[in-house]
Every structure is written in C-alpha cells, then in structure tokens.
Structure 1
Amino acid sequence: MDKLISADGQPQYGLFDGTPGLVNHRDFDFRSPMGRRLGALAKWRRFHQFQYFGLISDQLIGGCALADLSLVGVGFVYLFHPASGRMIERQFKLPLGMGTRFSQAPDDGVCELRQGRNLLRLENSPKPKEKRLLVQLDDGTRIDARFSEDEPAFQPMSLCTPAAVNGWVYARKVAGVACQGEVHCELGEFDLQAIGAFAHHDWSAGYMRPETFWNWACLSGEAQGRRVGLNLSCGVNETSFTENCFWIDGELIKVDCVRFAFDRDRPLEEWRITSADGQVALRFVGTGLHKERLNLGFIASNFKQIFGRFDGVLRPHGRPALEINGLWGFVEDQYVKW
C-alpha cells in the first residue's frame, strides 16, 4: 500500500500485512459531524501524531516519546536503573511544535525535537528495515539504540480503525525484538546487546477522538527460550478492529478485546490484564513510573506510564501455553483532550 488515504479521500481500514508508504492525512476528506467539509486549518488542528521507543532489560529500563499535537510539540525521555532505583527523566513542551519535525512515512523518515542542546530523534529506515533512537541531553546523557525487523524476520501489527464519527487512527506496533546500541548517563554506561536488552516501538497518527483515554500494556523479553513481545490496549483502536496481539519469535498472534483491572489511585499496585478469548492472563506489579499532567483547558493530559514486571500465561490457540515469569514491561493509564 503506497498511501493510507485513497483517491476518494477515505482511509483504508483494517489489519494490514504491510505498512503504508505514506500516511497522507492532508488528502483526507475531513468533515464535521454534521457533514460540512472542513479546510486546511481544521485538518492541521485535529491531526495528531506520536512515536515511542522503549528499552527493556534487567539492568536498564528506558522510554522516549515524541508527539505532534498541532498546538504544542511534546517529548519526554527517561532511564531507570532497577538495581539502585535511580531514575533520569526530562520533559519538553514546544509551542506550535517549533523545533520539531515529523515524517508521515512510518517506515522511512525522521521525527525529532530540538531544544537548546537537547535532541530527541527517532529514525525509521526502509532498507534495512531498522528503527533507531538517538538522544543527546545537555547533562551529557546519550542514548543510541536500534533494532532490525529483517533478521530475524518480524511481523509488525499494522492497522487503521475509525475514530469517533469523523476520524481515524493508523497504528504500527512492534515488541519483542532484540536491541543494540549504547547508553551513557549518570546511571552508568550500558552496551544494550551485552545486557540482553529488548525494544518496542509505536508509530501512531490520525484524527483521533477529541477527548479519549486508553490503557496499554507491553512487554518484551525471553520466556522458555522464546522471544516474546506483547501489545494490548483498551479504549482506543477498537472500532471494527483491535491492535491487541502478542509475538512469539517474531510471529504475530492476534488477541481479542482485553480488560485492565487496577486501582487508578495506586498505579504501582497490582494490575490484572485478561483477554476475552482466554489467550492472555497476566498480573503486573509496578516498580516506578513516569507521569505528566497538563491542563490548559483546550488541551489536557493526565498520563502515567508504569514500568514493572509481568507474571502469568499466554495461551496461543492450538499451541502450548507460554509461562511469563517476572518479565519487565510497561502499562499506561492515559486521559487526553486535544
């Protein structure tokens, strides 16, 4: 698929075997809920895009996100050292996205944020199919991490779903891939391949619900000698299709709708995550979290990303169950108005 938006101005919906070459949102026939055709200003204001790169290992946990919310460009990065409990985190907010750039090609392009001597950069390369995270901060922190989807072969989750009465969301998800690179920071120096790090990646964009929420869960690592990744969500990307899945040795296994049971006031305590089809039964307990709150009236966010360990079982239909014992991963509790 060369472009997500067809010649008639409508997105192509469904689960895709491949990745659209271009998320050409400006060609979308965007209309009000009452059917009035909307112009370039409304298209700019309502289109949102974000990208996330996560690192997981027993020795280092990390996450970096970039978001284009039209009125503001947002970025964050954090690193957590499980052995010491120490954490580095930075947040950036740039009015009207000044100092940012975002490619609309999920497999080919650069998204980045620059502020002073700080750089957050996510690179997507088609040949070889590789994702790279580059972070340089004014305190000397440097992250250079990358993973390949070619060797061994990996099947990403790629889908587009309707959103509200007049929007849509495209998402491409990856988890359970080995990560290479280096991290240099006050927590220490880390060779990501040597410490057995895994990565996950999210590229999402579209005309999302003006007010929404989601819960999300992701893990990456090894279980019973198999490479395993997990991507589950509730509250978004659930109209006609869902993004819920897990991977075993790079093979995507689809999952039905999921339920997140947790105490919103105590996010580090136990979460129970189960799927309607019985393929997922997991328990998560948090170790730490990154959180942000923003309330400007016209735009608001209450965001918690918690990192910790998963236990439980994955039961792919027709195959032996896979026990999950203490694998590191993430969950999110997010409210947003944009």
Structure 2
Amino acid sequence: MTTFEREITGPVDLCLPDGRLDPAAVGWSRTPLHRANLRGWGRTKRWEYWCVTTPTHLVALTVSDLDFLALNSVYLLEYAPGGLELERTAILPGGLGARLPETVAGSPGAPDVVTGPARPTGGKVRVEIRDEPGGTRLRARCLTPERVPVEVDLLVARPAGHESLSVVVPWSSRRFQYTSKQTALPASGRVRVGGEFLDFDGDDTWAVLDHGRGRWPRTVRWNWGAASGRTDGHTLGVQLGGQWTLGTGSTENALCVDGRLSKIGEELDWRWSPSDPLRPWTVRTPLTGQVDLTFTPFHNRRVRTEAGALANRTDQLFGHYDGTVRADDGTRIAVERLLGWAEDVRMRW
C-alpha cells in the first residue's frame, strides 16, 4: 500500500447529530460507504458530475445544489477541428433544483434524481439520473441557442467487483468534503443533436463520476485530473487531485487497474502554465515515482462566471496522458494516449 490513510470497510455516517464531521468518517474506501447526512445551510454543497468519453466526442452532465442556488448543465464536445461544442447551464436561484440523495445518485437503493421540465425551453435543462438493473441511466434534454433539440440517453455499467475511490477530506470539524471518484466504467448509448446522432456504443466508451457532498470554505482552488481506457494490456482508470487537499492528511489520488484500486496517499506535483494551459502538463508523485505522467491537451473548456455570490474560474483541458504508473502489487503500466482531462479551478461560493 502507498498510503497511511485509514481504509473504511463498513457503512458510516458523514456527520454527527450536530452537523460536525464524524471522526469515524475520515478515511477512504473501495466502494461508496458513507451516508452524507449533512446539516446546516449556506456552506453545504452537493453534486453529481458525469463525463462519458469516446475517441471522437464526449458529453458531461452536472446536477448540483449549492444551497443558495442550483446549477445544472449539459456539455457536449466533438474533438475534430471545428467540431461541435455546446453547453447549456441552468442557474436556479434559491437552490430550487433536484433533491440530491445522501448516497450516490443512480446507485442501487438511491432515489432517482430528476431536475428541470420534461420539455425544456429557452435556457432550461432537464437531467435524469436513475438506477436500472443494468447500471445507471443518464438522460438529459435541452435546446441549443439556435433552438436545436439535444437529447442524451446513456447507460453506465456497474461491473461486478469494480472498485472506486471514496474519501473524506477534512479541513476542520465544520468544513469537510466527501467525494466518490469512479473511473473506467463502461458506458453505451447515444446523443442526438437535431437530426444527427453521436454514437457512444463502442468498446472504448468510458464514464467517470465525481460525486460530492460536503461543507466548503468560501473560496477554494483545486486541480482535478481523470482518464480511462485500455493501455499496455490493462484497463486503467486514473484519478488525480491537487491543491485543495494540502494539509488535511487525505488525498483523492488513486489508480484503478483492471477493476482493482490502488490508493495513493502522496500529494502530487502538478506543473502547468496558467497563462497558456494548452501547453503540456506534468503530474508526478515526487517521492515514490508511482505516477509520472505528461498530459497533452487538445481543447480548453474555459468558464468564467460571476453570478452574485458565485464566481467560477475554470480551465478544464481535454487531452491525452502518456507516461507510467505503478499499481500496489508493483505492476508498472505504460500509459499511451489515455483520454481524459486536467483542470485548474478557482471557486468563490
């Protein structure tokens, strides 16, 4: 093992009855075991973010409740030069969006998540996350600014025994985050834009989940990187984090190799050019060499938002990872053009 963090192996509540972080919840697990019984208003943040990629295009869905507003979105990108890129984001003051469950939305036993009108008009967005016998069903609808209808219908499989990273990051007893990062999940389906259909049915279609529940400080900055695919004879999911976990004793770093998780307790060394984020990035474990990756972007999803109490400065770069990683059992994997992303985010909320 490459971490001294405590592994949690049984169900646990995130919070004590008074809303403070339960010390028994601090640690990580290979499957989602925390019940996010959050209390209080104003600093509580809940979200589900799914991104499903193919070699030629991707779609990302977000459902979020930030207390004072809800923010739900659909993002679609074709990688080819001049390819389609569209984003629809519905901002709902007062947090009048979907009620997000205490467990991972779309997992067995969790209530369905549905937000937005069945037939959205204008800038409205419909997102559905439902549990089905075959996995998690993701659906979305919106209109482009030109009033072209967009429909998303995807099924994310849940392979038996597939492990993921769930971890609590504790800033204090009053400020903390529980996140479940799930990589390298097979997915299938399609996206319709007007009369055109984008196929998500290949063997190289992969889904990544960022499930978040916590109580956050007013301002924060983070790096997040993820990638999924097949390389060097293995199915590999890469989960990388930075900045926001410093000094907490927890990290959100892990590898998923052929469905088995390797937790990385070492903080990563991220290097990139903030003035030119499309230049190559490097992400490494400086002490152990377990992660030694170069990320080469091909597209920047640049977001600048000022909406009252909310300010968001995001550079989310999509591209490919190359280099090497090492699993807990010593297996060294050559990473070649593994599709994913790396982002630099500054948030005031």
The answer on whether the counterparts of 1:121 and 1:135 sit within 8 Å (CA) in structure 2 is yes
Q: Deviations over 1:83-123 (max 9, x none)?
A: 34412222221111224332222231334431634444252
Q: Amino acid of the residue matched to residue 268 of structure 2?
A: V
Give the C-alpha shift of residue 160 in structure 1: 1.3
Paired positions, count: 320
Please name the residue that 1:62 is paired with: 59
The answer to whether the aligner puts 1:319 opposite 2:330 as a matched pair is yes
- Structure 1: distance between partners of 2:133 and 2:12: 18
Give runs of aligned pairs for residues 76-225 of structure 1, distance below 5 A. 76-86=73-83, 87-106=85-104, 107=107, 108-114=110-116, 116-117=120-121, 118-123=124-129, 125=131, 128=133, 130-138=135-143, 139-149=148-158, 151-164=159-172, 166-185=174-193, 188-194=196-202, 196-225=204-233
Q: Amino acid of the residue matched to residue 100 of structure 1?
A: A
Matching residue within 258, 270, 278 for 2:268:
258
Give the C-alpha shift of residue 330 in structure 1: 0.8
TM-score under structure 2 normalisation?
A: 0.84
RMSD: 2.3
Matching residue within 251, 272, 281 for 1:242:
251
Give the C-alpha shift of residue 211 in structure 1: 1.0
Give the C-alpha shift of residue 61 in structure 1: 1.9
3-state SS of the aligned residue for 2:277? coil
3-state SS of the aligned residue for 2:112? strand
Matching residue within 5, 23, 38 for 2:36:
23
What percent of counterpart residues are identical? 23
3-state SS of the aligned residue for 1:216? strand
The answer on whether the counterparts of 2:115 and 2:128 sit within 8 Å (CA) in structure 1 is no
3-state SS of the aligned residue for 2:149? coil
* Residues 1:177 and 1:17: Cα distance change in structure 2 (over 3 Å): closer
* Residues 1:136 and 1:48: Cα distance change in structure 2 (over 3 Å): same
Please name the residue that 1:299 is paired with: 310
3-state SS of the aligned residue for 2:162? coil
**Unaligned ranges ≥5, structure 1:** 27-42
- Structure 1: distance between partners of 2:262 and 2:34: 24
Residues 161-170 or 267-276, more deviating: 161-170
Q: Amino acid of the residue matched to residue 272 of structure 1?
A: T
Residues 64-73 or 93-102, more deviating: 93-102
Please name the residue that 1:286 is paired with: 297
Please name the residue that 2:285 is paired with: 275
3-state SS of the aligned residue for 2:330? coil
**Unaligned ranges ≥5, structure 2:** 1-10
TM-score under structure 1 normalisation?
A: 0.87
Q: Amino acid of the residue matched to residue 58 of structure 1?
A: P
